[in-house]
Amino acid sequence: MRLLLRIPAPSEHLLIWPSYNKPDRAQGCVKCNEQRPKCASCTKRNMACHYELNPPDMGPPTDYGHLFPVKPHNEGMWLDTFPHRQVGGDLDERFLNESNGTGRYQQKREAMELATYASAGPWYTEFFSAGPVPVWLIPEGWAAFEAVHFWRQGNTVVHRDLVDTDLADSTHRALCRTEPYSPSNDIIIANSLCMRLSHIAGVENITPKPTPSSVHLWVRLGQLLNTSVKTLSRQITDVENVVENKVLQRICDMTGIEEYLNLAGGRAHLRGFLAILRLCGIPIDLAKKQTGLGNAIHCMTLCGVLSNTVSSYEARLDEISAFSDTELMDMYCFTLENNFPCPSYLWAQILKISTLRTMAATGSSATSLLQHAQRIYEQVEIFSPENWKESYSIPKGRVALLLSRIFKAAVGIYCCACLPPSVVGEDFAAWSSDQVAAQRTTLLRLLGEAVELDRELNARILWPIAVAGYAASKGTYSERALVARLLADMQHEFGCLPPRLVARLQSFWMLGPGSWDDCWNGPFTFLP
């Protein structure tokens, strides 16, 4: 059989080949925006596009380097969905209006969540650079695995200062805490989302809050916290197995996320933690049984005591009063808290000052208050920073000397200023005013030296900075500016806590010199 082959003429080539290069819109091809790679079809229908690389207002990925993922995958969520109103209160009004979408909008959104292409998690790293996959192919637990990897990568990048300072020798790296208690997947992912939101806030130079580039992450975080609350409510009913079910660790993690991002519920969870802990027995005995539980108890009891120092007596946490000074001292010495490296000797004086404030609120005489305050102040002055030693590892060299001096001056100011003028006499007022003025100069000078030595040290002395902010109300403008600058420099390290401190101090400065309770006139949660 003979095969007949037809060879196209040259003129036919001219007609055929150009047609291959023309986009055929009838077959579904669309024109893409190279500046923001999202297909026009998804843009027109307001749908989540798995091809999109840069969410709205996020800017080019090259500006962010390796601080946070530059290719966020939407995890089946629309980029134009917005968190519930209780997640954040600073959303733009336009976004609040759009988030209330119609019923048809909600139905379409739910269908998209089930059928759209999505990544396994709301982050992206070079090790997870594969394209998006169908949601039905994602293995169970993959999002948590990806979150753990992102957590490790992010901590290595953001907190590498721990490797460069003596604080890295601590037995407890608080900034990199991942409680070894096998937390549930929702807490793992929520912790990583919290860290990523702080990265985005640092790049955008704002406090952590929903923005067009991160609103889908806030939605996801709100869902995870709601799931965790439901799990917690179910586990608390099993009173006999509260410790075994890791209820305290879950509350600790949730409180950390809520306070870091200034969400509702953080203070309530702190109170609940302390109440449950009191029912479970002696804290130090529980801490020695489980390392993760010990870290949680250490952190939350410390938070309870410090929160009372920067709150008015009427707004204090009553639950912390259920623990004796000996129990609180034992838990403080469980390990070093990097974000509050205060010598244990001075910590004991802080506990005594809490007792002094209770005496003032319960009607003790001005004479006894003066004598008691002077005894505590003498004990503070006896402390020798050069001889600071603990049962656990502590900073070394000049860093240790500088930190111990800073906390010594801060505790001295707190001792002299914590009592309201209405319950003390003129003798106490004259004595405390002179001591606060002398210690204020010393403390501000030491804070300046700490920043010059290592700028990252200001993250470890947040409480002394808050004390210096109160004392600066009777000082000069430059002293108040120094405190404000120190807090501004560390706002992305502690989330919303430094901006809240700045707002509280600036309001107090505008009123002029006043008492400690005038400055901290209300509840304030201080989570180091």
The DSSP string of 271-290 is HHHHHHHHHH--HHHHHHH-
Q: Tell me, what's the pLDDT at 41?
A: 63
User: Whose CA is closest to 213, among 223, 201, 221, 225?
Assistant: 201
**pLDDT tier at 90, thresholds 50, 70, 90:** very low
363 or 168, which is more confident: 363
Residue 370 has pLDDT above 60, yes or no: yes
453 or 165, which is more confident: 453
Q: Tell me, what's the pLDDT at 378?
A: 93
483 contacts 501 by C-beta, under 8 angstroms? no
Domain coordinates of the chain in residue numbers? 40-237, 344-528
Kindly report the pTM of this predicted structure.
Answer: 0.69
Instruction: Kindly provide the b/e burial profile for residues 140-177, where b requires at least 16 CB atoms within 10 angstroms of the residue's own CB.
Output: eebbbbbbbbbbebbbeebbebbeebbbeebebbbeeb
Q: Tell me, what's the pLDDT at 102?
A: 52
Q: Tell me, what's the pLDDT at 407?
A: 96
Q: At what angle do helices 291-309 and 266-280 cross, to 10 degrees?
A: 120
333 or 182, which is more confident: 333
Residue 414 has pLDDT above 90, yes or no: yes
Percent over 70 (pLDDT), the chain? 65
Q: Tell me, what's the pLDDT at 342?
A: 92
Measured CA to CA, the distance from residue 383 to residue 403 in angstroms comes to: 13
**How large is the average pLDDT for residues 10-26?**
42
**pLDDT tier at 193, thresholds 50, 70, 90:** confident
Residue 220 has pLDDT above 70, yes or no: yes
**How large is the average pLDDT for residues 396-404?**
90
Could you tell me how far CA 360 lies from the centroid of its own chain?
34
- Most confident stretch, 5-14, 106-115, 224-233, 323-332: 323-332
Place of tokens 């409510």: 233
The mean pLDDT of the chain is 72
Q: Tell me, what's the pLDDT at 327?
A: 93
Please provide residue 263's backbone torsions phi and psi, each rounded to the nearest 5 degrees: -95, 160
**How large is the average pLDDT for residues 111-119?**
36
Q: Tell me, what's the pLDDT at 361?
A: 87
Q: Tell me, what's the pLDDT at 505?
A: 94
**How large is the average pLDDT for residues 469-490?**
90
Residue 201 has pLDDT above 70, yes or no: yes
The number of CA neighbours under 13 Å toward the Cβ of 301 is 30
**pLDDT tier at 509, thresholds 50, 70, 90:** very high
**pLDDT tier at 456, thresholds 50, 70, 90:** confident
519 or 188, which is more confident: 519
Q: Which of 19-28, 270-279, 295-304 has the lowest mean pLDDT?
A: 19-28
User: Whose CA is closest to 148, among 169, 111, 179?
Assistant: 179
- Most confident stretch, 35-49, 98-112, 245-259, 413-427: 245-259
Q: Tell me, what's the pLDDT at 63?
A: 38
Length of the chain: 528
Measured CA to CA, the distance from residue 338 to residue 156 in angstroms comes to: 16
422 or 105, which is more confident: 422
Task: Return all residues near 312 (Cβ < 8 A) that are at least 6 apart.
Answer: 517, 520, 521, 522, 523
Q: Tell me, what's the pLDDT at 336?
A: 76
Percent over 90 (pLDDT), the chain? 27
Residue 255 has pLDDT above 70, yes or no: yes
Q: Which of 70-84, 297-311, 383-397, 466-480 has the lowest mean pLDDT?
A: 70-84
**pLDDT tier at 170, thresholds 50, 70, 90:** very low
216 or 376, which is more confident: 376
**How large is the average pLDDT for residues 469-496?**
86
Measured CA to CA, the distance from residue 99 to residue 276 in angstroms comes to: 38
pLDDT digits (tens, 9 = 90+) for 332-369: 988 777 778 999 999 999 999 999 999 988 888 888 88
Q: Tell me, what's the pLDDT at 87?
A: 34
382 or 56, which is more confident: 382
